[in-house]
């Protein structure tokens, strides 16, 4: 295991996994659940940062921090998409996992008066704590949540409570029209920015959606901050599994600005698989 160390130019982070007990489970959607645990470093992290989560005997995977109390309570939120996530989804209260980090660059809320959040599917995980922070800092925001069906709208009530507290609103979107407005989150975003002035658009979700949001932001002179997803194995910029053009998503991101994303040739075109091979998205 990696030892505790301080990389050049970054604050001290514990790189050795810290063993934590699961204190609570929360079913978020029909296919997504959250696991809560006590860990001070995670609880004091920045929205958009992630942990390397060790599932004993299975694997270690990157996971966005989905809740941070500022004291000790934290959470990760998981959808079952493979062996490691299947094991996490089956875990119960009092079972143990390992966490190291937090890692990466998160969302920036400096000089923001009115924000637009665009969340696509399970990509909305890092946008939950961002919503909490905007409420805490009394920053008005509108949140567009997209999902295939009603039962997959992630953190809907959480966003509604936060937005209502700062005079904002939430617009749920479903592909099949089973809840809210029928259509794609990016389509609602295009409509929304014609009605109201926004300082920034925060987004996370499928890359085609992010690409549309970045294009919308640049066309309308609105800053964009997007959280990107790639396979991450080390979390500290060494292994190269998460390289996107010349950037390391694990360390240079996972949150990037729209101008940076616009200049990436591989974004929304290719990604690296578990072996490191470049494959089409």
Q: Tell me: the pLDDT tens digits for 10-38?
A: 455 678 899 999 999 999 999 999 999 99
The confidence score (pLDDT) of residue 2 equals 40
Domain ranges of the chain: 18-103, 114-280
Q: pLDDT class for 150, splitting at 50, 70, 90?
A: very high
Cβ atoms 251, 243 nearer than 8 A: no
Rounded to whole angstroms, the Cα distance separating 255 from 229 reads 9
In the three-class reduction of DSSP (H, G, I as helix; E, B as strand; rest coil), residue 44 is classed as: coil
**Residue 223's closest CA among 146, 110, 130, 106?**
110
φ, ψ dihedrals at 151, nearest 5°: -70, -5
> Which 3-state string (H, E, C) describes 218-231?
HHCCCEEEEECCCC
48-64 pLDDT per residue, tens: 999 999 999 999 999 99
Mean per-residue pLDDT for 202-214?
Answer: 97
pLDDT digit string (tens) for 233-259?
999 999 999 999 999 999 999 999 999
DSSP symbol at 180: S
DSSP letter at 70 equals S
Q: How far is CA 85 from CA 105, 132, 200, 217, 245, in A?
A: 23, 25, 32, 33, 27
18-103: CATH topology is Elongation Factor Tu (Ef-tu); domain 3 (2.40.30)
pLDDT attached to residue 281: 87
114-280: CATH number: 3.40.50.80
Q: Taking the model in full, what pTM does it have? A: 0.93
């Amino acid at each position: 295991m990696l030892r505790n160390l301080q990389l050049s130019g970054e604050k001290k982070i514990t790189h050795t996994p810290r063993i934590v007990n699961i204190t609570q489970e929360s079913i978020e959607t029909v296919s997504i659940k959250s696991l809560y645990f006590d860990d001070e470093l995670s609880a004091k992290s920045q929205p958009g940062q992630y942990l390397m989560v060790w599932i004993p005997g299975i694997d270690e995977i990157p996971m966005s921090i989905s809740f941070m109390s500022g004291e000790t309570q934290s959470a990760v939120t998981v959808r079952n998409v493979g062996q490691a996530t299947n094991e996490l989804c089956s875990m119960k209260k009092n079972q143990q996992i390992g966490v190291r980090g937090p890692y990466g660059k998160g969302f920036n809320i400096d000089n923001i008066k009115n924000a637009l959040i665009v969340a696509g599917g399970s990509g909305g995980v890092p946008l939950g704590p961002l919503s909490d922070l905007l409420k805490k800092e009394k920053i008005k925001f509108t949140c567009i949540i997209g999902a295939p069906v009603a039962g997959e709208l992630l953190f809907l009530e959480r966003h509604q409570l936060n937005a209502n507290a700062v005079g904002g609103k939430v617009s749920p979107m479903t592909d099949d029209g089973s809840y809210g407005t029928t259509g794609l989150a990016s389509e609602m975003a295009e409509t929304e920015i014609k009605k109201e002035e926004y300082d920034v658009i925060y987004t996370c979700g499928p890359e085609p959606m992010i690409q549309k949001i970045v294009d919308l932001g640049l066309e309308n002179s609105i800053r964009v901050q997007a959280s990107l997803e790639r396979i991450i194995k080390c979390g500290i910029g060494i292994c190269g599994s998460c390289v996107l053009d010349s950037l390391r998503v694990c360390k240079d991101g996972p949150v990037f600005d729209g101008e940076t994303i616009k200049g990436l040739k591989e974004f929304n075109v290719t990604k690296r698989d578990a072996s490191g091979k470049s494959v089409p998205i």
